[in-house]
Structure 1
Amino acid sequence: MSLNRVLRRCTTATAALAATAAACLLAPAPATASTPGSGVALPPPHAGFDYQIGGAYTPPAGVRVVSRDHAAAPAPGLYNLCYVNAFQAQPGAEKEWDKDLLLRDGDGDVVYDGEWGEAVLDIRTANKRQRIAAKVNGWIDGCANKGFQAVEPDNYDTYTRFPDLLQASHAKAFIKLLSAHAHREGLAVAQKNTPDLAASRAETGLDFAVAEECGEWNECGIYTDAFGAHVLVVEYSAKGLRTACSGWGDRLSIVRRDVGVSPAGSAEYLRQTC
């Protein structure tokens, strides 16, 4: 399973974006934002949140929103996000994909996201996007059948790590296929990270955001500008939690987890809130 993007910062971010992020951190956020997915239910804002993509467990008291891997079952009685790795293959799962759907470099070698050992999917053409979406949409169908209320497609930001091969336009075109399908299944769709594309949420059909380390990197305001209070924040450091809570603790859903997003009962498990 691809867990999170901790330590992975977009090296192509511009100074202008950084300045915008810092300014947004100080600006008040609107309480609500328009919703591209007509008729879908969004997670309640400023609610207890738990990030369980590394393994499901009984949610702590006060939790109303949970994110779990698509192989897991939703938590009864709560708002559940269904995590899918949409832009990269799971570690060791390359054989589950047609060979031509794996991104290749100029030498013909499969391109890997080295930090996680995940082969990158080739979303550069409309035909390949349609074929990749068909597989991912099958997972989304499973999410809907299990009773999840939303889907969290991970690695929307893959293009930022391979700028010589992938473009933002490829990512937006692909996520539009997933969001349209999810909406037909009655599921809301989260924008996972990728602050530089938050302003495109109406174009891409994304309904709310899951932002890792927006407190750590002063990016929370970028997400609230686009999604209002419908932002779920995951931090992995004490500093990030302090910043997120001090700036946004009265309006956003915020949780700190251990880097491995370990299930409760394991030695690495850590969960803190504002």
Structure 2
Amino acid sequence: MRRLPPALVVAVAVMAVLAAVAGLAACSGGHDRAAGTRAGVWQPRPGLAWQWQLDGKVDPSVDVPVYDIDGFENTASDVARLHRDGRKVICYVNVGAWEDFRPDRDDFPRSVLGRPNGWHGERWLDIRRVSALRPVMERRFDMCRDKGFDAVEPDLVEGYGNDTGFPLTAHDQLRYNRMIADIAHERGLAVGLKNDLAQIPQLLDDFDFAVNEECAQYGECALLEPFIAAGKAVFHVEYAEPTAGFCPVARGLRLSSMLKKPELGTWREPC
């Protein structure tokens, strides 16, 4: 569970909605990327059911068309097994924080490591250092491509709203997030925007779907409507709200919603 502080999202909510409407209007004149027609890249459509499992070896028994699993912890054989069952598979990769438990931990220069982010063994990255970080992220996305994944879920793409130890700005985040999207697309992978609701109007064209945590709990789900309007799926989870409380709204918005436990094991309760 990795979220921007709710106060920052609320502060930009009205601005984001208005900008999104304006942005969609501007893109209505045949902009292929906004329409979700990027050549050779999977485009998940609104309403697709999904499974999100980051804890433990993937359990392929859940009957849904989309799986989102850890890119390091799962093998090409795991991805192939899901493909044989007719599933599309998303590769979870952390792009905003260093993790001391990953095999490529020594590839990061010490100078890009910031403050701990609250998760054991993790430290924020200085996303301004794109020349240092891009090669590492390219190798990670190469891994996703080579294992046969269809898409990537880049995590922690809203460091500018946190106490990272670096003076990150919204502009820094936009530049970095667009770089991440480009790296994915260069490899034929779809890419999802994880949370970062405040920058949806600026990033809608760059990302093929969204992944969101707890928009219902914080009253933010309407901020995701631009993705749905563009024909792009929003894969959404809640951790504390009961399904009876958020599923009616989720169905109305055509979100792909379910209740999960924060450790993101196999258990799920879909809408």
TM-score of the superposed pair, with normalisation by structure 2: 0.79
1:227-253 CA distance string (max 9 Å, x none): 4351111111233x3343111225221
Q: 1:221 Cα shift?
A: 1.7
Paired with 2:244 and 2:16, the residues of 1 have a C-alpha distance of 20
Task: Find the residue that maps to 1:249 and give its secondary structure.
Answer: helix
Matched, 1:273 2:270: yes
Task: Find the residue that maps to 1:67 and give its secondary structure.
Answer: strand
Matched, 1:12 2:15: no
**In the superposition, relative to structure 1, how do residues 182 and 190 fare at CA in structure 2: closer, same or farther (>3 Å)?**
same
> Which residue among 82, 85, 90 is the counterpart of 1:81?
90
Task: Find the residue that maps to 1:80 and give its secondary structure.
Answer: strand
* Counterpart mapping for 1:74-223 below 5 A: 74=79, 75-76=82-83, 77-91=86-100, 95-103=106-114, 111-124=115-128, 128-162=129-163, 165-202=167-204, 205-223=206-224
Task: Find the residue that maps to 1:173 and give its secondary structure.
Answer: helix
Task: Find the residue that maps to 1:12 and give its secondary structure.
Answer: helix
Q: 1:199 Cα shift?
A: 0.8
Paired with 2:121 and 2:6, the residues of 1 have a C-alpha distance of 18
Paired with 1:219 and 1:99, the residues of 2 have a C-alpha distance of 36
Q: Which amino acid counterpart does residue 17 of structure 1 have in structure 2? A: A
Given that 2:6 and 2:218 are in contact with CA atoms closer than 8 Å, whether structure 1 keeps it comes out as no
Paired with 1:16 and 1:188, the residues of 2 have a C-alpha distance of 27
Matched length: 242
**In the superposition, relative to structure 1, how do residues 13 and 253 fare at CA in structure 2: closer, same or farther (>3 Å)?**
closer
**In the superposition, relative to structure 1, how do residues 89 and 242 fare at CA in structure 2: closer, same or farther (>3 Å)?**
farther
In angstroms, what is the RMSD of aligned CA positions? Answer: 2.6
Segments of 5+ residues of structure 2 without an aligned counterpart are 21-33
1:8-59 CA distance string (max 9 Å, x none): 63443344527977xx9xxxxxxxx622744311224312211012233323
1:120-150 CA distance string (max 9 Å, x none): 11122xxx21220210111111111111111
1:88-115 CA distance string (max 9 Å, x none): 0114566441112223xxxxxxx22134
